[in-house]
């Protein structure tokens, strides 16, 4: 069964026509991360490559969780298709899923799929299969409703103080996680106005809520790591931290909390007396639990990325598979892809190198397509030979050489020139890129 379709869209904001992959089947066994993506509103979200405006495209969709024996068909009410036609399409979707599975996986619940006409009701049902109770859902909705009131007053500090007074139980970890989730969703959908309001709300809630002040302490602890130069200085900083601050440091600097670090922390605890000894031993136990949890999560995420890469490589059309799974491609996946490519080159496995190169090329192509036109032109200029090819390209695209384009060139060159977080090889490459940008800027000035 085809799990995705490529559809032609026209941006309602700027009129640009573009193609986008639309998913019609979610099977959480085959692709576990799709459940989280759907619950976050990121499945079938489209973004115009020109103006960056976007949103979720509501289309019929099958959701299947074999472990919970849960099969659902989402048929958005706004499509307004006659009931007879709707039932026919539902039958085709579910039968198509059944045919795609081995006979032993076709069970009785396939003949009575649950039907949903609103995305929210389907989300609630999915959360129910995950063991989240109606009480928890109601609590989250209450917090989301309160968040809506706060968003309206995001830039009114006195108003926020009045609304949040005595609301520490509501403005807890879960509230800030929901706020972060909404912010991530707004960013993914290109909703800049909503994103800015949510960012302002989070910033202004930090100093006036107990949990916000706790987050601020954690952020300060992480930022202070920039001052740490030696392993002993790191040990001093962690030993002086409370549990919240130590947790934040562990998350931010996990590789530094190695066996030697724990040996030194243990020695310091054993050398202490009384309450200080108990505090340091408790801190050590807490950090051991935190690092173990982080390591387990990293291994699980690496496995997911490895499984996704295998799925893409084994598909009939890897390029299409990359685009179908674009929302699952992140830094961890790119790291796994790079490691596999290095290993294939080391073994001299030319077929594997070629297959992995196809995947990387398609990811690079998608990244390029998502860039604003000005950045795409700059990338083309950086890849062209200087001075002849760059001059020719600038002449061909003279209409795009505006004062704003020149300002962008200046800004990029200046920003790259100020970077200090680079090794020697990266520094040399950056110096060459800055020089090329400034040379191109000189050529472009003559055409502006």
pLDDT in tens, 183-214: 877 776 667 788 889 999 999 999 999 999 99
pLDDT in tens, 383-433: 999 999 999 999 999 988 988 888 889 888 888 888 776 777 788 888 899
pLDDT in tens, 6-25: 888 888 888 888 888 888 88
pLDDT in tens, 90-104: 778 777 777 777 777
pLDDT in tens, 110-167: 878 888 888 888 988 998 888 888 888 888 889 989 999 999 999 998 999 999 999 9
The band of 346, judged by pLDDT with boundaries at 50, 70 and 90, is very high
pLDDT score at 420? 74
Task: Among 1.20.58, 1.10.10, 1.10.3470, 3.40.50, name the CATH number for the domain at 371-445.
Answer: 1.20.58
Count Cβ atoms below 10 Å from residue 207 Cβ, excluding itself. 11
Count Cβ atoms below 10 Å from residue 224 Cβ, excluding itself. 13
104-108-111-113 Cα dihedral, nearest 10 degrees: -100
Q: Would the pLDDT of 372 be above 80?
A: no
More confident residue, 285 or 26: 285
Q: Partners of 25 in the beta sheet?
A: 62
The band of 1, judged by pLDDT with boundaries at 50, 70 and 90, is very low
Q: How many residues does the chain have?
A: 448
HEC assignment per residue over the chain: CCCEEEEEEECCCCCCEEEEEEECEEECCCCCHHHHHHHCCCCCEEECCCCCCEEECCCCEEEEEHHHCEEEEECCHHHCCCHHHHHHHHHHHHHHHHHCCCHHHCCHHHHCCEEECCHHHHHHHHHHHCCCCHHHHHHHHHHHHHHHHHHHCCCCHHHHHHHHCCCCCCCCHHHHHHHHHHHHHHHHCCCHHHHHHHHHHHHHHHHHCHHHHHHHHHHHHHHHHHHCCCHHHHHHHHHCCCHHHHHHHHHHCHHHCCHHHHHHHHHHHHHCCHHHHHHHHHHHHHHHHHHHHHHHHHHHHHHHHHHHHHHHHHCCCHHHHHHHCHHHCCHHHHHHHHHHHHHHHHHCCHHHHHHHHHHHHHHHHHHHHHCCHHHHHHHHHHHCCCCHHHHHHHHHCHHHCCHHHHHHHHHHHHHHHCCCCCCHHHHHHHHHHHHHHHHHHHHHHCCC
């Amino acid at each position: 069964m085809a799990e995705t379709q490529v559809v032609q869209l026209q941006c309602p904001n700027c009129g640009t026509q573009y193609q986008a992959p639309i998913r019609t089947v979610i099977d959480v066994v085959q692709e576990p991360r799709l459940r989280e993506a759907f619950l976050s509103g990121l499945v079938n979200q489209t973004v115009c490559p020109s103006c960056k405006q976007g949103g979720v495209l509501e289309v019929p969709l099958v959701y299947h969780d074999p472990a919970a024996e849960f099969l659902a068909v989402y048929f958005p009410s706004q499509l307004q298709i006659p009931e007879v036609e709707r039932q026919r399409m539902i039958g085709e979707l579910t039968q198509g899923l059944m045919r795609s599975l081995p006979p032993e996986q076709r069970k009785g619940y396939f003949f009575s799929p649950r039907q949903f006409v609103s995305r929210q009701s389907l989300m609630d049902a999915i959360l129910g299969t995950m063991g989240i109770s109606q009480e928890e859902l109601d609590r989250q909705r209450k917090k989301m409703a309160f968040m809506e009131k706060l968003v309206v007053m995001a830039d009114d500090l006195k108003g926020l103080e009045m609304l949040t007074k005595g609301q520490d139980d509501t403005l807890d970890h879960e509230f800030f996680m929901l706020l972060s989730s909404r912010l991530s969703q707004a960013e993914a959908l290109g909703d800049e106005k909503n994103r800015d309001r949510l960012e302002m709300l989070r910033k202004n809630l930090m100093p006036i809520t107990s949990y916000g002040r706790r987050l601020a302490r954690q952020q300060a602890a992480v930022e202070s790591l920039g001052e740490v130069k030696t392993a002993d200085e790191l040990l001093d900083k962690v030993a002086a931290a409370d549990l919240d601050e130590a947790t934040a440091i562990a998350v931010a600097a996990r590789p530094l909390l190695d066996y030697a670090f724990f040996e030194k922390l243990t020695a310091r605890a054993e050398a202490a007396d009384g309450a200080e000894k108990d505090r340091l031993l408790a801190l050590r136990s807490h950090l051991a639990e935190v690092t173990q949890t982080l390591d387990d999560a990293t291994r699980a995420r690496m496995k997911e990325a490895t499984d996704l890469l295998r799925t893409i490589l084994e598909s009939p059309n890897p390029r299409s598979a990359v685009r179908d799974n674009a929302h699952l491609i992140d830094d961890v996946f790119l790291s796994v892809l790079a490691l596999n490519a290095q290993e294939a080159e080391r073994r001299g496995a030319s077929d594997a190198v070629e297959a992995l190169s196809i995947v990387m090329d398609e990811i690079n192509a998608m990244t390029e397509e998502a860039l604003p036109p000005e950045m795409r032109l700059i990338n083309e200029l950086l890849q062209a030979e200087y001075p002849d090819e760059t001059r020719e390209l600038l002449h061909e695209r003279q209409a795009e050489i505006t004062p704003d384009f020149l300002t962008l060139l200046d800004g990029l060159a200046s920003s790259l020139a100020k970077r200090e977080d680079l090794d020697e090889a990266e520094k040399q490459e950056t110096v060459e890129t800055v020089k090329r940008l400034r040379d191109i800027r000189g050529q472009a000035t003559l055409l502006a």
